[in-house]
Structure 1
């Protein structure tokens, strides 16, 4: 692809770079748009979902080291491969914040879809794809990666994840990015520099908060896996309880309950559910060597037969003997 500055590029006194396909014939618009995106974003392959009619408008300016771009266009997709990455210069973290329509960002096996009021972020030093399946209006913000990688913030797991924007620091960051873009023509260079530094700091704080949420989720899932493993090993123990599990795993009962807060079963009902599953299988599989129902219940940790019969009927609508008979054993 031969690259040259599009004839529609203009730089007025406010230093805002403007491009509009309105300045081209219909046949020229799609090729010029693809060339502009390649040039402006440092190497991107574009396609238009096979459409032949296209129009797009793009305006861009800098706030210090931060590049802000407003993009309005028909549906289109962009892809950045590792070959394109190797041929590019400085690395950025790129934010897409829809004002109309939606965007789907895919990177490192993760995919994040965002609509107006939210934003997501991805790394231009790795391959990625962005889908815009409808007409869109986006604010795209590019922050030098080196400035966000400071202070030991691990960025890899935060890319291509919805950051938010409805509440908290992510909303403050989104509002600041939007207002900065709108007011850049009215700012001095020093003020623009300060606005860019503020955006960088707010994005960093948003990612730190997102990392904390991710860490808490990861820790909770890890504890849940440990709980499930312990329960599986001790399911037959009639003394299995939250106290016993907490002692064995060296954590508080509150942490046990929190680990199961988003599950359909509490910890106690999870244990009971597994025990009933085991009893159901035993009653179905005993065949001609059927064991007494009492033995099966006791074997799987039930030490109260009336309780076992009650929860069994609640689960199946039948008594254990009725269930065994219906199963042909």
Structure 2
């Protein structure tokens, strides 16, 4: 299941004053991961809405001042090895992890790991969204998040990830992949805000990384890359302006190289040419064969024949 109509799953008005911290804790534990909650007022007033369920979960909380702590004992238990994204909507939100402390305002976000201790909350009433994502949705993601936790994130990358998680991003068909790519991008940009020339070079490098990861997906194209990187098509094209190939030509060339590599591997000797094409991201066999011949001077079947002798 993915995006859905917001559904209220907890409202403190239905709970006696003295039991509200405990009830809030139970609700958050059920929806996300266990935390220990404290409040100077000895209560937590507010409500929790589910914005998204399934592998990627998102809740929105409107609440009085409080702090949630992932203690050492909790960090090693249920809900470990996952990634959280904190996004303030109104008021400020403070995130602490790995000796770093960051106070966010609306429009900013922070990423952090559930496998390490952390604190998240506010000294005043606030409205915020929290996303919970599986740590294995991208290679080495959890380790990268630990290094990036509670660090400032490039605003463009933050906006792209926030829009994807809260449902403002286009293209629901590749929703999970888009979120994974935008999360990696946000984590990679958590350290510095580069100058304009180096931003362009970095964007080109990040686009190439996504191309390699998504090469087998027919939907990979300039628009997907622009969506994943959180930039306009014009900005994406500008990042490739100084390279030998355009965006589309780069994707096509890498797919053809992937197909040639597969044809040269013994473990693919029994695979049909159409299967090789599909694994390289082509969904039209005759079109693949024409492009392959044009690029390498021989059809795929001939390349395979030469290898087999």
| TM-score (norm: length of structure 1) | 0.51
The change in CA–CA distance for 1:25 and 1:203 in structure 2 (over 3 A counts) is same
1:77 corresponds in structure 2 to 67
- TM-aligned CA deviation for residue 198 of structure 1: 1.9
- TM-aligned CA deviation for residue 47 of structure 1: 0.5
Aligned match for 2:83, one of 90, 93, 100? 93
Q: Deviations over 1:19-52 (max 9, x none)?
A: 1112223333232112222333321000112x04
Matching of residue 48 in structure 1 with residue 39 in structure 2: yes
Structure 2 stretches lacking a partner, 5+ long: 199-309
Aligned match for 1:113, one of 103, 106, 112? 103
SS in 1 for 2:47: strand
Root-mean-square deviation over aligned CA pairs: 3.1
Q: How many residues were matched structurally?
A: 192
- TM-aligned CA deviation for residue 61 of structure 1: 4.5
8 Å contact from structure 2 (residues 48, 59) kept in 1: yes
| TM-score (norm: length of structure 2) | 0.54
1:30 corresponds in structure 2 to 21
Q: Deviations over 1:190-244 (max 9, x none)?
A: 95x7433322221111222335659x9xxxxxxxxxxxxxxxxxxxxxxxxxxxx
8 Å contact from structure 2 (residues 10, 48) kept in 1: yes
- TM-aligned CA deviation for residue 68 of structure 1: 0.6
8 Å contact from structure 2 (residues 25, 34) kept in 1: no
SS in 2 for 1:147: coil
2:214 corresponds in structure 1 to none
C-alpha separation in 1, matches of 2:76 and 2:187: 26
8 Å contact from structure 1 (residues 64, 194) kept in 2: no
SS in 2 for 1:18: strand
For residues 171-320 of structure 1, what are the structure 2 equivalents within 5 Å? 171-179=159-167, 191=172, 194-210=174-190
The change in CA–CA distance for 1:72 and 1:164 in structure 2 (over 3 A counts) is farther
SS in 2 for 1:169: helix
Structure 1 stretches lacking a partner, 5+ long: 1-12, 184-189, 217-329
Matching of residue 21 in structure 1 with residue 1 in structure 2: no
Q: Deviations over 1:288-322 (max 9, x none)?
A: xxxxxxxxxxxxxxxxxxxxxxxxxxxxxxxxxxx
Q: Deviations over 1:120-155 (max 9, x none)?
A: 111101111113111111011111112244489733
8 Å contact from structure 1 (residues 105, 112) kept in 2: yes
C-alpha separation in 2, matches of 1:133 and 1:41: 22
C-alpha separation in 1, matches of 2:167 and 2:67: 27
C-alpha separation in 2, matches of 1:107 and 1:48: 19
C-alpha separation in 2, matches of 1:97 and 1:154: 19
